[in-house]
Structure 1
Amino acid sequence: MATAFGEEEAPDNADYYSLLNVRREASQEELKSSYRRLCMLYHPDKHRDLELKKQAEQLFNLVHQAYEVLSDPQSRAIYDVYGKKGLEMEGWEVVERKRTAAEIREEFERLEREREERRLQQRTNPKGTISVGIDATELFDRYDEEFEDMPGSSFPQVEINRMHISQSIEAPLTAADTAILSGSLSTQNGNGGGTINLALRKVTSAKGWGELEFGAGDLQGPVFGLKIFRNLTPKCFVTTSCALQFSSRGVRPGLTTVMARHLDKNTMGYVQWRWGIQSSMNTSVVRDTKTSHFTMALQLGIPHTFAMVSYQHKFQDEEQTRLKGSIKAGTFGTVLEYGAERKISRHSIIGATVSIGVPQGVSLKVKLNRASQTYFFPIHLTDQLLPSAVFYATVAPLVVYVAMHRLIIKPYLNSQKERELEKQRQNSASEIHHKKQEAEAAVQLMQESVRRIIEAEESKMGLIIVNAWYGKFVTDNSQKNERVKVIDVTVPLQCLVKDSKLILTETSKVGLPGFYDPCVGEDKSLKVLYQFRGVLHQVMSSDNEPLRIPKQSHKIDIDG
C-alpha cells in the first residue's frame, strides 16, 4: 500500500463538496466543521506506521486542498461555475486576489473569451436542409379505366416532382463579427435554379446586432438587404429587415418589422408587419413550457388572411417524445395537421405529420433532423379527402417506426451504448484504479476511528451501520455480477455517523472518502442496512439523492 497514490494529484473530476460531504450552499461554519473532522481522521501525526502515515498525508492534503478552495469566496465563486478548470485558467495568476467574487467571475470570463477568440478561425456552424417532394397520388386516386391501356399504367407511379437543397456556414472573424455564406438549389417539374448569399453580422453591443446581406441567383436579380436587432427593454425587442431586389422589371423594395415582448416567464407576444410584394399584419402569442408548446396567430394580408392554433405536448421521457396538432383556416382554405416526433439517437430526431386540407388534399410529411442537417420528405397522397389516404398516412408511419425501432434502432443504440461504456471504462481504468487504491487506504485509516464511533453508539443504542453497498444492483440472481457492480462502504459510512445521525448531501456519493466508482457510466445507488435502538432498518437511495438516517420509514417489518 506504500504506493497507493504515487505522486499524482487529485483527479480533475474530484468533487470538493462531495469530498467534504457538504451542501453546495454550505456556510463557512459547515465547511470548517467538516474539514476539522476529516483532519482529525487523516492527520499524519496520528499514525506511527510509515505506510499509514504516507497514506494519511496524501488524503490530508486532498482534504486541505478542497477546504482551501471552498473557504475562499473568490476561488469558490469560480469553482461553482467552472469547476477545477476555472482555477487552472491560463493567465489567472495576474488577477488580483483581493477582488470581489463578481469581479473574479468577470475576469475569468474575459480570459475565457480570449481563449475562445484564438479558436474562432477553426470553428463553423454548418446548417443544411434537403427537401424532396414526392407525388404519390396514383396510390389512392388513379386515372379512369380508359387510360389503363397506356404503357406502364398497370402500376401506380410514384415520382419525385421537386427538390430543394440549402446549405450555410458561419465564419467568425472576431468575437463580434461573423460572415455567413449560404446557397440553395431548387428544381420543380424539370425547371430549377439556385441562389447564393453572403451576410456580414456585427454585434454592436449587448443589446443588439446588425447584418448586411448580398445575394444573387438565376431565379432573381441581385438582392441587397439590411437587418437590425435591438433589445428595447429586458422584456422587449424589435427586429427590422429591409431588402432591395433588382430585376428587369425594376427595383422591388421590401420591409419587415417584428416586435416581441415577454408577457410572462413562458409566454411571448409578437407583432409583425410586412410590406412589399406580399403585405400583411400578423399577431401571435407563443407559450412554451417544459411540457407544452402553444401558438395562436392571426394574419391579415395579401394574398392570404388566416387564423391558426397549434399545440404540442412534450413527454418527459428519454426519447423526448412530442405530439402535436394544429388547425389553420383562411382565404386559401382549411388545413388540419397532426403528428409526432421522437429522438432516436443522441443527435437524431425523426417526425411525421399528416396534413388534411380543403382544397389541398392529404399529405404525409416526414422529417429527419441529424445534428445540424434536416431532411424533409413531403409526400402528396391525394387531391381529395379520401378516408383510405388519411388512414394509411396515419398508420403506415407508426408501423414502419415500430418495426425499425425494434429491428434496427434499438439494437444499434444498445450496441453503441455498450461500446461507449467500454471505451469510457478503458479510458478511465487508470483513474479508477487510482481512486480504488485511495479508497482502500482511506478505509484502512478509518479503522481506529470507526471502532471508537461504534463503541460510543453501542453504549447509547445509537446508529450502527451493519452493511452498506454502493454501485449498480443487478436484479437477476447472479451474485457474481452483483459483487462486480457494487462495493462495500460500511466503514466509510459508519465513520460519517455523528450524534447517532448520518447525513449525506445531494451530490454524487462517489466523491466521499472511502468511495470509488465500481461501474463507470452506469446509474448507481446506495443500499444501507443499519441498526438503531436495537432495531434493524434498511434504505436504498439513488446516487444524487440526499439521505438522512435514521428514519422511522426505514424500519424493517419483521412480522411481514
Structure 2
Amino acid sequence: MDLDSDDESIIEEDFYSFLNIPKEASKEEINNAYRRLSRIYHPDKHMDPSLKAKAEVMFNKVKRAYEVLSDPHQRAIYDSLGTKGLETEGWELVQRTKTPAEIRAEYEKLAEERAERRKNQATNPSGNVTIAVNATDLFNPYYDDLIDDEYESDFISGIPNIEVSSMQFSQSVDFPLTQKDNCTLSGQLQTQNGTGQGGVNLGWRHIFSHKSWAEMELTAGSGPAVSFKGFRTLTKRFFWNGGTILQFTPEGIRPGIMSTLAMQIDKHSVGYLSYHGGIRSLFSTQLIRDTEYNRYNFSIQVGLPHSHVLLQYTRKMMNQELKLRIAVKAGTFGGVIEYGAEKKISKHSNLAFSVVCGVPSGVKLKIRLTRASQTYSFPIHLCEEIMPAPVFYATVVPLVVYVVVKKGFVEPFLKEEKSKKVEKQKQNNYNKLVEKRREAMAAQDLMNATYNRNRDEESNKKGLVIIKAIYGRIMRDTNQQHGDAELSSEVLDVTIPVQCLVKDSKLVIHDRTKSELPGFFDPALGEEKMLHIIYNYHDQPHEVTIADNDSLRLPKTAHRTNIT
C-alpha cells in the first residue's frame, strides 16, 4: 500500500487473496476454492445460533468473491478498477455487449487517454541551477603584499576567501498544443566575474510519427538566432538527428550545422557518430554499453577548441539506488581523473558527488542534487594544484556530511512522516479495521471444527501439523536460535486458519497479501508484515518466515530445524 497516496488509504477487499487463489486462476480453481470455504462457512453447517449468525456474514463474503471472479465480465472490471469499479453504475450495458478482453482493452485505452490529458494539462517544468564556488584559498592562501598593517594582515590572512565565481540558471516549460504539436518556452541566465548574459528560447515541435519529428526554435539574447532540428528513424538499427542554426550578429549571419548518426549495435550497446560545424567545429564518436549492473562510455572528440579521449565506467548497486563512477579524460587541455557516487535518497531525489583531479585545473568537488525535473549543481574549486589534502577532504568530507545529515536529520524526519501517514491511515480505516478484526475472529470461531478434524487427520498420518503461526510485524534477530522470533504487539495468532489451509499434507499460499485470508486481518497497517510458521512434518520440526506478499509451499526440507 502506498502511504503517499490518500486515494489508496482506504482498505479494499482482495477477492483473490480471500479465496487463496492466483490472479490467473482458472474457473476450476475458483470453484474448488468456493466449495472448500463453503464447507466451513455455510450457515447450515452450524447449529449454534451465534455461530450461524457469524457464518452468514462469512458465507456472504465467500459468495460475493465467487460471483465476481466466476463471471468473466465482472472479473475483468474488478481486475481493472477493483471493488470501486463494481460499485459504478451503468456497467449492465457494457456487460451485455463486450467481451472480457474488450473490457480490459477499453480500460487500458481510457487510462491512456486520462494519462495523456493529465500530461497535456501539465506544463512539465524543468530547471537547472549551477553555482560555482572558488575555494582555492583554503589550500592555496593568497596574501596581499600591499597590506602594511601587521595586525590587519594577520587577521585577514586567517580568514579564507571563498567566493561564488559564476552562476547559471535555466528553466523551461511545455505547452502542448495538440496531440502532435508541442511548444516549449525556456530561458537561461549566466554570470561570471561580475559580467553576465542570458537568452530566451521559444521552440515548436511537430511529431509526424513515432519515427520522426521536426522542431524550430527562436532565440533572443546574445543576438537573435533561429534553428531547425529533426529526428528520423532510418532502419530498425539506425536513427539520425541533426539540424542547422543561423545566428544574426553585427558582423553578419553565422551559420552552424550539427548531425548525429546512431546505431543500435545490440540490446545493450549504442554507437554515435557526430559532427558539429560552424564557429566551433568538431567530430566525435561515442560507444555506450548499458547493462543492468554496468555502464561503459568510450568517446573520442577531434576539433576546436579541444580534442580529447574519454573512458567512463559506472557500477550500479542496490537495485540501481547506488551508482559508483570513475572516468579518465585526456586531451589537448591536459588530463582529468574523476571518481564519485550517486545515491537515490528518496522516491524522486538523487544526490551525487564527485572528485575531479586534473592538470592544469587542480582539484574540484562537484555536488549535484536532482529533485524530480529540477537539478542543482555546486562545483567547488578547491585547489589549483593536485595536493593530498584537498583530495582527501574532497573525498571524506562529503561522505561524513552525508552520514551525519542522513542519520541526524533525514531518517528521523522520514520516520516521523511515515508515522504520521500510518496514523492517518489507521484513522481513515479505523471502522474498517474494527470490522476486519471482528470478521477474522468470527472466521476462526467457525474454523474450530475443521481445524480439529484437519489436525487430527494430519497427526495420525504424521503429515503436516501447524504448531504455531503468527502474522504481523515480526522482527527476527539473525543471531537468535530458531523459534526465538521477537514479536511486537502488532501480531495475530493465525494457527487455526493456516492449519485449515492444509490439504493432503500440503499447504499452498499464493503471492498476495495474507491480511485478506479468512481468519486474518491487518494488525500493523502501513508496516511491513511477515508470516512465521512452526510446523511438524513426519514428526520433524520445521520453521519458516516469509514476507507478506511472498508465496509459500509447505513442507520443504530447507525448513527443517535441529530442535528435537
Interval of TM-score (by shorter of Structure 1 and Structure 2): 0.7 to 0.9
1:264 aligns to what SS in structure 2?
coil
Deviation at 1:59, TM superposition (A): 3.6
**Is 1:304 aligned to 2:306, yes or no?**
yes
**Post-superposition CA distance 1:502-535 (Å, at most 9, x none):** 1112222222122111112222111112233344
**Is 1:538 aligned to 2:540, yes or no?**
no
- Counterpart of 1:127? 126
Q: Could you tell me whether the CA contact under 8 Å between 1:120 and 1:174 is conserved in 2?
A: no
- Counterpart of 2:377? 376
Cα separation, 2, equivalents of 1:247 and 1:50: 95
The residue type paired with residue 188 of structure 2 is S
Q: Could you tell me whether the CA contact under 8 Å between 2:541 and 2:563 is conserved in 1?
A: no
* Distance change in 2, residues 1:467/1:117 (3 Å): same
- Counterpart of 2:6? none
Deviation at 1:71, TM superposition (A): 4.6
* Distance change in 2, residues 1:103/1:229 (3 Å): farther
**Is 1:277 aligned to 2:276, yes or no?**
no
- Counterpart of 2:521? 516
The residue type paired with residue 205 of structure 1 is S
Q: Equivalences for 1:539-558 in 2 at 5 Å?
A: 539-558=544-563
* Distance change in 2, residues 1:538/1:103 (3 Å): same
The residue type paired with residue 503 of structure 1 is V
Q: Could you tell me whether the CA contact under 8 Å between 1:95 and 1:107 is conserved in 2?
A: no
Pick from 495, 501, 504: which aligns with 1:499? 504
**Is 1:325 aligned to 2:329, yes or no?**
no
- Counterpart of 1:180? 184
* Distance change in 2, residues 1:528/1:353 (3 Å): same
* TM-score (normalised: structure 1): 0.86
- Counterpart of 1:193? 197
Deviation at 1:226, TM superposition (A): 3.0
Q: Equivalences for 1:23-38 in 2 at 5 Å?
A: 23-38=22-37
- Counterpart of 1:528? 533
Structure 2: any 5+ residue segments left out of the alignment?
1-9
Q: Could you tell me whether the CA contact under 8 Å between 1:442 and 1:513 is conserved in 2?
A: yes
- Counterpart of 2:109? 110
Deviation at 1:85, TM superposition (A): 6.2
Cα separation, 2, equivalents of 1:464 and 1:294: 54
- Counterpart of 2:452? 451
Q: Number of aligned pairs?
A: 544
* Distance change in 2, residues 1:469/1:272 (3 Å): same
Cα separation, 2, equivalents of 1:239 and 1:504: 53
Q: Could you tell me whether the CA contact under 8 Å between 1:291 and 1:316 is conserved in 2?
A: no
Q: Could you tell me whether the CA contact under 8 Å between 1:502 and 1:550 is conserved in 2?
A: yes
Cα separation, 1, equivalents of 2:238 and 2:91: 37
**Post-superposition CA distance 1:422-469 (Å, at most 9, x none):** 233333333322322232232233233323323433343322222210
* TM-score (normalised: structure 2): 0.86
Q: Equivalences for 1:33-432 in 2 at 5 Å?
A: 33-47=32-46, 52-53=51-52, 55-71=54-70, 95=94, 103-116=102-115, 119=118, 122-143=121-142, 146=145, 149=148, 153-154=156-157, 155-217=159-221, 220-233=222-235, 235-316=237-318, 320-432=321-433
Q: Which 10-residue stretch deviates more, 375-384 or 136-145? A: 136-145
The residue type paired with residue 243 of structure 1 is I
1:485 aligns to what SS in structure 2?
strand
**Post-superposition CA distance 1:203-244 (Å, at most 9, x none):** 433434433322211xx2223233333444555433333332
**Is 1:441 aligned to 2:442, yes or no?**
yes
Deviation at 1:485, TM superposition (A): 1.4
Deviation at 1:361, TM superposition (A): 1.7
**Post-superposition CA distance 1:176-221 (Å, at most 9, x none):** 433322112111111112211222334433434433322211xx22
Deviation at 1:305, TM superposition (A): 2.1
- Counterpart of 2:472? 471
- Counterpart of 2:5? none
Structure 1: any 5+ residue segments left out of the alignment?
1-10
* Distance change in 2, residues 1:322/1:161 (3 Å): same
Q: Which 10-residue stretch deviates more, 170-179 or 322-331? A: 170-179
Cα separation, 1, equivalents of 2:27 and 2:466: 29
The residue type paired with residue 550 of structure 2 is E
Cα separation, 1, equivalents of 2:87 and 2:281: 56
2:298 aligns to what SS in structure 1?
strand
* Distance change in 2, residues 1:459/1:400 (3 Å): closer
Deviation at 1:266, TM superposition (A): 2.8
* Distance change in 2, residues 1:556/1:393 (3 Å): closer
Deviation at 1:499, TM superposition (A): 0.8
Q: Could you tell me whether the CA contact under 8 Å between 2:365 and 2:382 is conserved in 1?
A: yes
Cα separation, 1, equivalents of 2:326 and 2:104: 45
Percent of aligned positions that are identical: 46
Cα separation, 2, equivalents of 1:358 and 1:336: 9
Q: Could you tell me whether the CA contact under 8 Å between 2:11 and 2:429 is conserved in 1?
A: no
